[in-house]
Amino acid sequence: MAASKPILYSAWISSCSFRVRIALNLKGVDYGYRAVTRTDLDYEKINPIKYVPALVDGDFVVSDSLAIILYLEDKYPQHPLLPQDLKKKAINLQIANIVCSSIQPLQCYAVIGLVDGKLGSDESLQIVRNYTDKGFKAIEKLLEGCDSKYATGDEVQLADVFLAPQIHAGVTRFQIDMSNYPLLERFYKAYMEIPAFQVAAPEKQPDAPASPY
């Protein structure tokens, strides 16, 4: 069977999708983009879990951004996102998990709560800021004294792939004051100069509205 390019089911604003878009771009993997909305009933046939992103590679479907990215890491070894050194690898995974387990799910809960009318707008914003602040402060502590270009070295790695979308969401949607997190602020400026990150940004996606924020 002729190799076909992988398909990414994604939503423009989803920071989890943004992570995978960055990883695909860094590895130079050409992919098809399929936009998914929250009310998309057809998507359930692709991914019964209903979350974005999902990657369809031939007849294989994988969902969850960390699982997808680790799959890409194995399948496309170019531009490795995880260092060989076990200590550095662990810090990359720890930072990725702070983002994907301790910040983003709570942000998601706050946003959906607001959309569904269960939370007021002040409350929703407070939740986002509370968990963002806790996570960002912890990461600043973990990386204290860091003088490399990116989080764990002078090459973009897994931690950066997870940090960029989280910071981007914080800055564009939740008025997070990044001057409180000088290392992350510095990294973010560096990320947004990289084409792989720029092209992956929410506002550049095919399903982004004309006035995104």
Partner 1 sequence: MAEAEATAGRLSLYSYWRSSCSHRARIALNLKGVDYEYKVVNLLKGEQSDPEFVKLNPMKFVPALVDGDSVIGDSYAIALYLEDKYPEPPLLPHDLQNKALNHQIASIVASGIQPLHNLTVLRFIDQKVGAGEGVLWTQQQIERGFTAIENLIQLKGCAGKYATGDEVQLADVFLAPQIYAAIERTKIDMSNYPTLARLHSEYMAHPAFVAALPGRQPDAPSPS
Burial of 87 (0-12, 13-18, 19+ CB in 10 A): exposed
x-or-dash string of contact with partner 1, 169-188, rule CB under 8 A: --------------------
Q: Does 68 bind partner 1 (CB under 8 A)?
A: yes
- Could you tell me how many residues of this chain bind partner 1 (CB under 8 A)? 39
**DSSP one-letter code for 181:** S
Q: Does 7 bind partner 1 (CB under 8 A)?
A: no
Q: Does 70 bind partner 1 (CB under 8 A)?
A: yes
- Length of the chain measured in residues: 213
- Stretch binding partner 1 (CB under 8 A), from 4-12, 134-142, 173-181, 204-212: 134-142
Residue with tokens 């879990």: 49
- In this structure, what token pair is assigned to residue 29? 């993997």
Chain positions 82 to 111 lying near partner 1, rule: CB under 8 A, are 86-87, 89-91, 93-94, 97-98, 100-102, 104-106, 109
**d(Cα 190, Cα 192) in Å, to the nearest integer?**
6
Structural contact between residues 177 and 185, judged by C-beta atoms closer than 8 angstroms: no
Q: Which helix (H) or strand (E) holds 167?
A: helix 158-173
Cβ at position 16, least distance to partner 1 in Å: 9
Residue with tokens 């590679």: 57
**Rule CB under 8 A: which residues touch partner 1?**
48-49, 51, 60, 62-64, 66-68, 70-71, 74-75, 86-87, 89-91, 93-94, 97-98, 100-102, 104-106, 109, 123, 127, 134-135, 137-139, 141-142
